Every structure is written in structure tokens, then in C-alpha cells.
Structure 1
Amino acid sequence: MTGAITSIWRHPIKSHGRESLDDVTLIPGQTMPGDRVWAVAHEASKADGSEWVPCANFSRGAKAPQLMAISARLEGDTVTLSHPKQPDLSFDPDTQQDMFLNWVTPLMPADRAASARIIRAPGRGMTDSDFPSISLCNMASHRAVEQKLGQNLSINRWRGNIWFDGLPLWEEFDWPGRDIRIGETLLRVRERITRCLATTANPETGERDADTLGALRAWEHQDFGVYAEVIEGGKIEIGNKVEVI
């Protein structure tokens, strides 16, 4: 039984925008190129860019739902961010942080720690997992959540990297410990992804409008998608088969 890739996404700045891709070349042991290259540490964070740290150190959609409505474009060292309540911003995250902090401040709740600085993780993207991961998400599982809630949902609530269709719902939860062939690549699935309040916010408006976590608990879990590591690199593109080895 095989599925096929329906979309590919990267998130240049963790929790601050998504960008769709037609294809990408994966690298063994690395996150998706251009994905979570930067992260935004808040004023209570001890993150300094010297090592990977958990997501609680960063400004993110779970605490600031308006961040979920950001879209992004990465070109070279320049990131362009768009949001329905803000003018577009093009800047270099390494050298023009003040521009970004001024832009994002109106999107942050007053009762949360303010965004303070942009950092990189050495040699990897700042994924939520403590290993460089790529997330795989199942369209059938997404449709099941939509049906449970009785409303249409954007897949961007889940902030996944690789979306596939053609396989049964929750099929991906049988994959940890198994290898997946996609295009020229081989990925080893490591673990399920436990979800947070970020998924309750609408990626078009930044407003919380769906009890996604309640829907997931109907299946007696709070998980959606799986994390995998790249074992063999190469190019993947929309339409590639997704095959469990």
C-alpha cells in the first residue's frame, strides 16, 4: 500500500510563517533545508543559540495565536513575512532583528513574555524534537479531524513538512521504527507528534476557532503526524510515492 505527496512546506522562522514548495532536496541527518532555520526567543528564555532547546523558550502559536496567520517566503538570507493585520516585511533575520521585533510586537498578547531576539541552532533547524526531524502528516487523518469537528480546517494548523494522501487514517502511527521511501530519499520514523494549542488557531485569521485537541482526544490521544529522520538524502517532489519499507 502506497500513498503520494500532496504538499511540501517549510517554516523559515519557527512559529512565524509557512511556505509551500514544489520540491526540495533532503540531507541525511538534517531538518528540511530552510525549515526552522531561526527561532524567536522571548524575554524569559535562556536560549542563546549555542544548542538546541525545547519550544517553551520561544514565541509560538500555542501562546500567541496571531502568529499562526503569518506566511513566509525565504530567498537567500531574506525572509518576507505576511500577515492580514500587518504590512509585509522583508528582512535578514541575522542582521535586522529590530525590524522584525517592531513588526511582530502588535501580534503578541500583552500578558505573555515579549519576543526578544532571533537565534539559530548550530548545524540544524530548531524543530520541536531534540533530533533534526522532518514531520509527515496524513490527509486522511486530517479529514477525520474535520469530520469530528464538523468544519473545514486548513492543514497549516499542523505546521507539517510533508503531506501525503492515499493511506488510511492514523496509518502513520504504525510507522515509528520503520523506514519510508519517498522519491530518492529514505526516512526513518522516530515518534508520534503530540499537539498543542497552536492547532486551535485559524491560519487565515489567527483566531482560536476549533477544538482540535478535543477532537483528537476522541481517539484517546493528542497526536497528529510523526517525526522522521533522513537516512538517505535526495530530491522529493509533489506526486512522489510514499512507501513503507
Structure 2
Amino acid sequence: MATVAALWRHPIKGHGRETLDRVTLTEGQTMPFDRRWAIAHEAARADGSEWAPCAEFSRGAKVPALMAIDATTDEATGTVTLTHPDRPALTFDPDTEARAFLDWVRPLMPENRAQSTRIVRVEGRGMTDTDFPSISLINLASNDALAEKMGQDLSPLRWRGNIHLTGLPAWKEFDWVGKTIRIGTAELEVREPIVRCLATTANPATGERDADTLGALKSFCGHQDFGIYAVVTKTGDITTGDTVEPL
């Protein structure tokens, strides 16, 4: 029986992850505070008026050092605390203190990349990689199977998922595409596999590229898919340890 092993959100797209014990999912919405903010670079046109694709933003696919950021959100105050092995901790309000963040992140940005210039937020819409408000699910058995094929440890945090699943056979999650699943009291419709990018090649502990995840997926699986995207179709609560049931 599949169960929820962990819950994760990423308050600032591409800049840190945060673990949760429980969460309330709302029909048609992303996980609360997941990708609530995104960091537009100097070549981007995104202005926060509407959803924009990931190419508009600074992210781990272009800047692997960003993958080593951890985050903690204070929902009451709207502040986020970021930590990184090469930077001092920073607590700031992304809506009002963009300069503090931009100064903090600048040393992590390569000089030959478009630099981060502003923080954007679309009211009521997390800036997911999909043009629909998605929840991403990761099967830990699939992660372990790929790691075994590659002959190295792979942290599941490379995949930046929202819900980590355990107790499911490797790659079984792809059978859920087009189906509805119940987790806790919430229900989600599984839409599509997640096509992966270079961000997953970076170690989330160090921010250094050290694993050819894309080459391994292509070689062993014939594609670059890992994990699945779903949309919330019934509002409900999810807690770590909850069962996951296809309907």
C-alpha cells in the first residue's frame, strides 16, 4: 500500500525547499506557499501579472548552486528564511525586501548567466513549471531504482517534488496518469509525467552537478520523465503517513 513519506514545498521557485508534516490542499490550487514567489532574471519579461514559463526565472537548471538552498516560511508574517552552505542565513519578506534577497543570492550566480533582478508573485497562483496549478508526486522506489542503475546515491530532493510516496513499486506511478487518486481526504487527478531538466543533475546538499540523471533516465527508461503532475479535484487534508489510493 502506498503512503505519504514526506511533504515538501518550495516557497520561492528554484530557491529552497521546506518540509511539512501536514497540508490542506484546495481544489484547483497549488500547495499553499509552493512557488508563491519566483525570481525573474534580467532577460525576462515576467511581471507578476500572469503565469510565466520557467525560462523566465532563475533556477537550478541554469545555476546549480541554487539547488542547495533550504527554506523556512513564517506564514503569519509572510517572511522566508533561506540557508545555503556558502551563504549566511537570510530572513526577509519577498514582497517588500527584494533588495536584501538579490544581494544575498548574487554570489551564487555565475557572471556569464542572466542575473536575478526582481521577485514576482501572481496573486492566487503558484508559479509551477506547468501552465496549470500542479502538485508533483515522487515515488521513492523509482528514485532508488534509478540510483541502483547509476551506482550512486540519489537524494529524492533532486526532483523538487511536493509529495514523496513510499510502498509503491518502482515506476508504478506512471500507471496513474489519467486517473484520480485519494490521499488523506483530498483527491487529485493525475495529468502527466514530469519531463526533467538539468536541475536534477545537481546535488541538493552541495549545489554541484554530480549525477547524469537525464542520461540515466534516457538510457535505462527511454525517456527523461520522473514523477507525475496532478491537480487537486477535491479539497482535503494530507498528513505524512496517509495512504494513497487510486479511485
Partner residue, 2:187: 186
Q: Paired residue for 1:40?
A: 39
The letter for the 1-side match of 2:97 is: Q
Q: How does 1:149-188 map to 2 (within 5 A)?
A: 149-188=150-189
State how many pairs are aligned. Answer: 244
Partner of 2:84: 83
Alpha-carbon distance in 2 for matches of 1:234, 1:167: 22
The amino acid that maps onto 1:244 is: P
2:239 aligned residue (231, 234, 237): 237
Query: Per-residue CA shift, 1:56-114, capped at 9, x if unaligned?
Result: 00000000000000000000200000000000000000000000000000001111100
Q: Which whole-Å CA distance do the structure 1 matches of 2:96 and 2:22 have between them?
A: 28
Question: Helix, strand or coil for the counterpart of 2:117?
Answer: strand
For 1:114 and 1:61, the matched residues in 2 are separated by: 13
User: What CA distance in whole angstroms lies between the structure 2 residues aligned with 1:184 and 1:53?
Assistant: 31
1:64 aligns to what?
63
| CA distance in 1: counterparts of 2:208 and 2:24, whole angstroms | 34
Moved more, 161-170 or 53-62: 161-170
1:124-169 Cα offsets, whole Å, 9 max, x none, are 1000000000001101100011101111111110000001111111
- Superposed CA deviations along residues 157-189 of structure 1, whole A, max 9, x for unmatched, are 000000111111111111111000000000000
Residue of structure 1 equivalent to 2:224:
222
CA distance in 1, matches of 2:81, 2:171: 35
Structure 1: runs of 5 or more not aligned: none
Q: How far apart are the structure 1 equivalents of 2:165 and 2:207?
A: 25
Q: Identify which range, 43-52 or 120-129, moves more after superposition.
A: 120-129
Please give the alpha-carbon distance, in whole angstroms, between the structure 2 residues aligned to 1:164 and 1:132: 20
Establish whether residue 134 from structure 1 lines up as the match of residue 135 from structure 2: yes
Q: Which amino acid aligns with 1:143?
A: D
Amino acid at match of 1:177: G
SS at 1:52's partner residue?
coil
- Structure 1-normalised TM-score? 0.98
Letter of the structure 1 residue corresponding to residue 2 of structure 2: G
**SS of corresponding position for 2:173:** helix
State the distance in 1 between where 2:189 and 2:141 align.
21
Please state how far the C-alpha of 1:122 moved relative to its aligned partner.
Answer: 3.0
RMSD: 0.6
Instruction: Spell out the pairing of 1:7-46 with structure 2 (5 A cutoff).
Output: 7-46=6-45
Show the 5 A alignment for 1:84-99.
84-99=85-100
Aligned equivalents of 2:174, 2:122: Cα separation in 1 = 28
The code of the aligned residue for 1:144 comes to A
SS class of match (2:221): coil
Counterpart CA distance in 1 for 2:175 and 2:123 is 32
User: Runs of 4 or more off by more than 6 Å in structure 1?
Assistant: none
Give me the TM-score of the superposition, normalised by structure 2.
0.98
Amino acid at match of 1:27: T
SS in 2 for 1:221: coil
Corresponding residue of 2:144: 143
2:205 aligned partner: 204
Write the letter of the residue equivalent to 1:38.
Answer: W
Percent of residue pairs identical: 64
